Structure formats: C-alpha cells, structure tokens
C-alpha cells in the first residue's frame, strides 16, 4: 500500500508552492508512554498566494495577450505600495482561489484536477539528534474500525504519493488529497490516527516503538486538513541501547 514514484519534470504542486507553511514538533515519550506536541506554529505574516483557474506552469509563463484578468492581476501585484495594499491583495487572491476550486469542482469531467492537497514532510531523529532512516508512518483509525476501512481509503484514494529524500532517508514526503479526506473520512464521522515505528539498528540498539498514536484528522483535530499548504513535522523518537553497549569497569 505504500506508493513510490520516480522523479518528475520539475512541476511544482500547489501545496508545495504555497510559502505559508506550518511546523510541528512531536516527541514520543518513553517514560510517560505518550506522544506530545512540543511545538506548533504557523508561518510568519501571511504571504500572498492564489490559484488561478485553468492555468498551469506553462500558460502562466506564456499567457494569452487577450487574457485581461490574468494580466491585470499581475499588474496589480506590481503596483502594491504599502501594507494595506498588500493585505487587500492577499484577500483578493483568497477569494479568487475559492472561486477557482468551486468552479473546477463543478466541472465533472475535470473535477479531479481541482482537488485540494496537503503536503506533509516528516523528519525523524533520536533524542541525541541522530537521524532515524528506517521508519514507517501509518495512518489508520485505532478504534471501531474492524474492517480497516480508514486505512483502505487512505491507501487507495487519499494518500497519493510517498517519497523518501534520496540524500537523507530520515525525511519523507507525503501528499494527501484533502478533498477526498473530507468526503471519505470526516463527512462519514471517522477519524485518522498516526503511529510511528522504526527498525532496530542491531540487537543492542533499537528505538522506542510506542503503542500510542496521535489523532491527526477528526472534527477537532485539523492537522491534516489544511489544503494547499505544507506541514513540516519534526519527530523525536527515543533510542534504546543495552547496558553492554557502553559501561565503565574497574581495573
């Protein structure tokens, strides 16, 4: 059920192009047997971002000469002179984006193209800051899902891409279809929990594989319900080593 994909032609996705990213630090605590959200913050002051209907990275670079609305938007963005103008520009782009997705979803033949996504980037390390490269994140529902319908929906319709960073496997990239997440999970009264397990380095050095989980999608938990954005999650997982790995002895 894990998806892998070869490199693309460099096309930037909407959720990765948006500079309004968020950050969260999770700590798996061995002593208290729980997952703690140690830090959570949004980006600095909002940055202007908009999604234009029926445009892609090619047509934006080479717009039609008679595309007055698009060319006018570019001209207006270059004519901003003060913070108030910029805030009005942000509001205008938000309104335009809402109209883009509403219009796109109304077109049944192209509806899938206008689904909204959230990009999740994880980094896992131990309590000493050393990276953990061989780990698995699972998304499921802990209780009242004997048929595993939640994990089946996530793997077949919602989690569309998973990729490890080739230069540092402690990083993972996930792409979630938030439109389907709301339709198939939230609107049906279900939720999504997240757990983490990591492979041992040897028989003497392993990682704390907690039984607890963190709810990331529910009527109250909106962690994975922020469309068109990127969330960076920094995860600390305790490393456990046998006493014989290192000890002092008397001569």
What is the pLDDT averaged over residues 79-98? 95
CA 229 – CA 244 distance, rounded (Å): 46
pLDDT band at 5 (very low <50, low <70, confident <90, very high): very low
State the alpha helices, DSSP H only, in the chain: 14-17, 57-61, 68-77, 83-106, 149-153, 178-184
Question: Which pTM value belongs to this model?
Answer: 0.87
Identify the weakest region by mean pLDDT among 139-143, 147-151, 218-222, 245-249: 245-249
- Give φ, ψ of 145 to 5 degrees: -140, 65
What is the pLDDT averaged over residues 83-102? 95
Task: Give me the chain's average pLDDT, please.
Answer: 88
Extract the tokens encoding 2.
């894990």
pLDDT in tens, 18-77: 999 999 999 998 776 778 888 788 766 889 999 998 887 777 777 676 677 888 888 899
pLDDT in tens, 157-205: 999 999 999 999 999 999 999 999 999 999 999 999 999 999 999 999 9
What is the pLDDT averaged over residues 206-213? 86
């Amino acid at each position: 059920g894990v998806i892998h994909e070869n490199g693309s032609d460099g096309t930037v996705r909407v959720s990765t192009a948006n500079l309004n990213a968020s950050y969260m630090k999770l700590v798996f605590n061995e002593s208290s047997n729980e997952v703690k959200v140690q830090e959570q913050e949004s980006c600095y002051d909002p940055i202007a971002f908009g999604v234009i209907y029926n445009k892609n990275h090619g047509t934006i670079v080479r717009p039609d000469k008679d595309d007055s609305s698009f060319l006018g938007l570019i001209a207006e963005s270059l004519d901003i002179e003060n913070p108030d103008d910029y805030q009005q520009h942000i509001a205008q782009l938000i309104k335009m984006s809402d109209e883009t997705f509403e219009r796109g979803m109304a077109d049944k033949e192209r509806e899938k193209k206008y689904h909204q996504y959230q990009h999740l980037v994880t980094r896992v390390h131990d309590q000493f800051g050393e990276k953990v490269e061989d780990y698995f994140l699972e998304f499921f529902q802990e209780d009242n899902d004997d048929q595993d319908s939640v994990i089946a929906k996530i793997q077949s319709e919602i989690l569309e891409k998973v990729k490890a960073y080739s230069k540092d496997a402690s990083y993972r990239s996930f792409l979630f279809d938030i439109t389907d997440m709301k339709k198939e999970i939230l609107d049906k009264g279900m939720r999504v929990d997240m757990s983490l397990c990591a492979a041992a380095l040897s028989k003497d050095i392993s990682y704390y594989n907690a039984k607890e989980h963190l709810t990331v999608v529910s009527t109250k938990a909106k962690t994975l319900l922020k469309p068109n954005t990127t969330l960076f999650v920094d995860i600390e997982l305790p490393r456990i080593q046998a006493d014989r790995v290192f000890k002092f002895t008397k001569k």
